[in-house]
Structure 1
Amino acid sequence: MRRVIIAGQEILPGEFREININIARLPSHTQIDTPIYVARSKEDGPTLALIAGMHGDEINGMEIVRRIIDQGYNMVQRGTVVCMPVINVYGFLNYSREVPDGKDVNRSFPGSKNGSLASRVAYHLMNDVIPFIDCGIDFHTGGAMRSNYPQVRAVLREPHIVELAEAFCAPFTIDAPFRPNSLRKEASRKGKNIIVFEGGESLRFDLQAIEEGVAGTLRLMKHLGMIDSAPAPRESNRVIWNTSWIRAKHAGLFQPNVQAGQLVHRGDWVGTITDPFGEFKEEVKATETGYIIGLNNSPVINAGDALMHLGMDNFCRLDNLKED
């Protein structure tokens, strides 16, 4: 049987183990550890990493991984599941996306053992976990009062990554190039394929996003041969090749009259911008035909703010071409 080693510790067949990686300590001398939960079955199979809390305020991903552990879904029939519910413990403690020095962990890879806090978190992940897995899911949410409809982001020119995204079968699969210094990009350099699941809004539980995240993970496990059954998708998967933003032309109070996940056509009335004094009112129109994959929930907006994120599949692209 293959050896499974995580953070320098060998996990034997049929073993479950909690491993704590010490990153650093707070100014109060309180040690901060990143917990990793590793469950290995008695039968050989792939090693799947479930990573959440890269941004400390993105709690939907944490809840997805927590539910997988709580309901025993990580105890697979074949292979190994590595669960990391909270990568950025610092941000989690401070309700923050970043670590205390303001850096983004997901822009700090591959990291440095003696660098900034964000760089140290990235370093330990890249050296203690990523080299020893086969593939993974990185769970995220929308940020700053923006909610994302459940979606997988992946590089759709990479066949092995496409295979993972198709198996997960979220409502939307979005073609998303690698971002510099991100976990996805640096893991790919080591030959490890990671897809990103986005769902909901930061600092707010979104039941639909959480349930989609759990179900999609189980479908991926089944595809990898780790389990024998998984729930069928609730929605058909749509592949999004292009995206665009509807932005505010004026500052004011924004009220949408559409919902995330909805298909809108170019020219449709999708919301209203008013001022607090009853002197101004403007209808917001869709600039493209597309699905609403992200929605700004903040009522107070400035000129140029992103109001809605539209995603276009092949049908939408044809519709936009006809309108042109």
Structure 2
Amino acid sequence: MLFRRLSVLTSTRILPWALALALPVSVAAETAGSEGEKTPETMVAALAEDESVEDVEQSEPRVKEPGAKSGSAKKPPTEDVASTPKPASQTPNKVAPNIDLKDVAPPPKPSPNTDSASVTKPAQPAAEAKVSETTPTEDSEVRPGEEPVTAGTENLTPVPKPAESFTLLGNEILPGTSTRLAWSPGIQIAGLSQPTPILVVNGANAGPTLCLTGAIHGDELNGIEIIRRTMYDLDPEKLSGRVVGVPIVNLPGFQQGSRYLPDRRDLNRHFPGSPDGSLADRIAYSLFENIIRRCNLLVDIHTGSLKRTNLPQLRADMNNPDVATLTQGFDRMAVVHSSGSSGMLRNAAVEAGITTVTMEAGESHRIQEHQIEAGVNSLTSLMERQGMISRMFVWSDPEPVYYDSDWIRAQHGGILFSDVELGARVSEGEILGYVADPITNAQYPIRSSSNGRVIGMAVDQVVMAGFAAYHIGTEAEIPGE
């Protein structure tokens, strides 16, 4: 009886995703049965990921180097990764088919050389982009993938630099094409291996390599749809650089509607992983070595956890100048300064020289159209700012960087009822909601500890004393304003 009930639930919730992402038929069947221009100079306190509320309380203060100025951060690297020497494990054994991602395509098959967690560590991308023999003038701006204009020809349109083939998972993706690949960490019985779809769009022109990852926690659905819409809207003939999308990283957790892996570990605490460690270590290692290291930029998409929801926002280590600059490319997206925690994909990627931010949008187990639209819009603006696409884009006023945020906790047990909405601006002492005791009929108000904005909150539910209910962020003041 329990098995039959689970079958009904999973078939209605998970099977459409498997079809949309062109998962293997066997997988679907098994599933059905089972970050403005200004940067604040204010000294701020760091906020760690909302994925674990305790991280907030263990955050480290933001530091500012002596003499550092606002906006002095250098731009993130935009070199052409494909131009670097290819290690043995990245040598292509076939040319990937050119597929229109909008069309329903045959399910991908795992590449033989990636169906194992033990892989050869790829070479790091070059630390600096290739410098053209022609030097641009001081007033000219050269976008990634464009050749600089020589003196005397400043009025001419920069000529895009043609892209090169991109090698990923043993496949050669030709310039101006898009394809579906398959990644498998090799953690299961060979005959039951379930490859994860990888979407790749290699633009016709050179530029940075952007990676998008979703569902590292299997119950976070908004990121899956954000990546799908972003990837399917790209035209490889008009793209400079390439975009690699991994909509569902934690496929086992996704199939079970669970945040965690089958061994009950949080995958986002095990990067960059290990080839001979735990299940989580092996999956993290395979993803990091086979895919993440091939990218220059990374956006890791998450939602709130434990029946909590987040205002669309970026989590970024603003002490890192490259990361701080990257956050300026996300239109209408608030930025929460966060140093992160050991084992997070974001931290591991930054340590590996990959400019990375975490995007938070909404809550788990749900598809929320407003949150998805905000995510897609911000990624589109990022690619436009990086020179990867060219569109008529109207930039909004930059969102503030929040700092010194606090989780307001319930002091009594009962049922939580909220009086404020996500994103609301609140004043110190204002009632955010209350906890009602269903036995005694007592009601206990929960008040804001500061002036700020509700950047995260718990959904109405049964809570115990000490439950983190409201996340209040305070705007950093910009000197001179």
**TM-score between both structures, scaled by the size of structure 1:** 0.92
Counterpart of 1:322?
none
Structure 1 contact 243–312 (Cα < 8 Å) conserved: yes
Deviation >4 Å, runs of 4+: 25-29, 73-76, 233-236
1:159 maps to a residue whose letter is P
Shift of 1:9: 2.6
User: Is the strand fraction higher in 1 or 2?
Assistant: 1
* Aligned partner of residue 241 in structure 1, secondary structure: strand
Counterpart of 1:79?
241
In structure 1, how many angstroms separate the alpha carbons of the residues matched to 2:285 and 2:434?
46
CA pair 233-120 structure 1, distance change in 2 beyond 3 A: farther
* Aligned partner of residue 295 in structure 1, secondary structure: strand
1:126 maps to a residue whose letter is F
Structure 1 counterpart of 2:312, from 121, 132, 150? 150
Structure 1 counterpart of 2:411, from 238, 249, 262? 249
In structure 2, how many angstroms separate the alpha carbons of the residues matched to 1:133 and 1:230?
26
Counterpart of 1:319?
none
Structure 2 contact 219–258 (Cα < 8 Å) conserved: yes
In structure 1, how many angstroms separate the alpha carbons of the residues matched to 2:368 and 2:397?
17
1:44 maps to a residue whose letter is A
Structure 1 residues 305-314 or 230-239, which shifts more? 230-239
Shift of 1:144: 1.4
In structure 2, how many angstroms separate the alpha carbons of the residues matched to 1:49 and 1:232?
24
Structure 2 counterpart of 1:57, from 219, 223, 243? 219
Shift of 1:263: 0.9
Structure 2 counterpart of 1:113, from 275, 288, 300? 275
Shift of 1:116: 2.4
Shift of 1:315: 5.3
Structure 2 contact 176–236 (Cα < 8 Å) conserved: no
In structure 2, how many angstroms separate the alpha carbons of the residues matched to 1:133 and 1:15?
18
User: Residues 51-109 of structure 1: CA distance to partner in whole angstroms, max 9, x if unpaired?
Assistant: 11111000000010111233336775211110110000011001011110011111011
In structure 1, how many angstroms separate the alpha carbons of the residues matched to 2:422 and 2:477?
18
Structure 2 contact 412–465 (Cα < 8 Å) conserved: yes
Structure 2 counterpart of 1:177, from 311, 336, 339? 339
In structure 2, how many angstroms separate the alpha carbons of the residues matched to 1:254 and 1:33?
41
In structure 2, how many angstroms separate the alpha carbons of the residues matched to 1:207 and 1:133?
28
In structure 2, how many angstroms separate the alpha carbons of the residues matched to 1:250 and 1:110?
40
In structure 1, how many angstroms separate the alpha carbons of the residues matched to 2:236 and 2:464?
44
1:191 and 2:353 matched:
yes
Larger radius of gyration: 2
User: Residues 180-209 of structure 1: CA distance to partner in whole angstroms, max 9, x if unpaired?
Assistant: 011111111221011111010000112121
Counterpart of 1:267?
429
In structure 2, how many angstroms separate the alpha carbons of the residues matched to 1:311 and 1:233?
23
Structure 1 contact 222–230 (Cα < 8 Å) conserved: no
In structure 2, how many angstroms separate the alpha carbons of the residues matched to 1:252 and 1:119?
39
**TM-score between both structures, scaled by the size of structure 2:** 0.63
1:115 maps to a residue whose letter is G
Structure 1 counterpart of 2:284, from 96, 106, 122? 122
1:303 and 2:476 matched:
no
Counterpart of 1:67?
229
Shift of 1:120: 1.8
1:160 maps to a residue whose letter is D
In structure 1, how many angstroms separate the alpha carbons of the residues matched to 2:262 and 2:280?
9
1:210 and 2:372 matched:
yes
In structure 2, how many angstroms separate the alpha carbons of the residues matched to 1:120 and 1:26?
12
Counterpart of 2:206?
44
Counterpart of 1:292?
454
CA pair 306-73 structure 1, distance change in 2 beyond 3 A: farther
User: Residues 145-174 of structure 1: CA distance to partner in whole angstroms, max 9, x if unpaired?
Assistant: 100010011011112111111111343100
1:68 maps to a residue whose letter is T
Number of equivalenced pairs:
316
In structure 1, how many angstroms separate the alpha carbons of the residues matched to 2:237 and 2:270?
32
CA pair 98-49 structure 1, distance change in 2 beyond 3 A: same
In structure 2, how many angstroms separate the alpha carbons of the residues matched to 1:267 and 1:74?
52
1:238 and 2:367 matched:
no
Listed as ranges, the gaps of 5+ residues in structure 2 are 1-162
CA pair 315-267 structure 1, distance change in 2 beyond 3 A: farther
Counterpart of 1:135?
297
Counterpart of 2:259?
97
CA pair 266-117 structure 1, distance change in 2 beyond 3 A: same
In structure 1, how many angstroms separate the alpha carbons of the residues matched to 2:170 and 2:473?
42
Structure 1 contact 78–226 (Cα < 8 Å) conserved: yes
* Aligned partner of residue 439 in structure 2, secondary structure: coil
Shift of 1:28: 9.8
CA pair 51-256 structure 1, distance change in 2 beyond 3 A: same
Shift of 1:22: 1.6
Structure 1 residues 74-83 or 45-54, which shifts more? 74-83
In structure 2, how many angstroms separate the alpha carbons of the residues matched to 1:80 and 1:129?
13
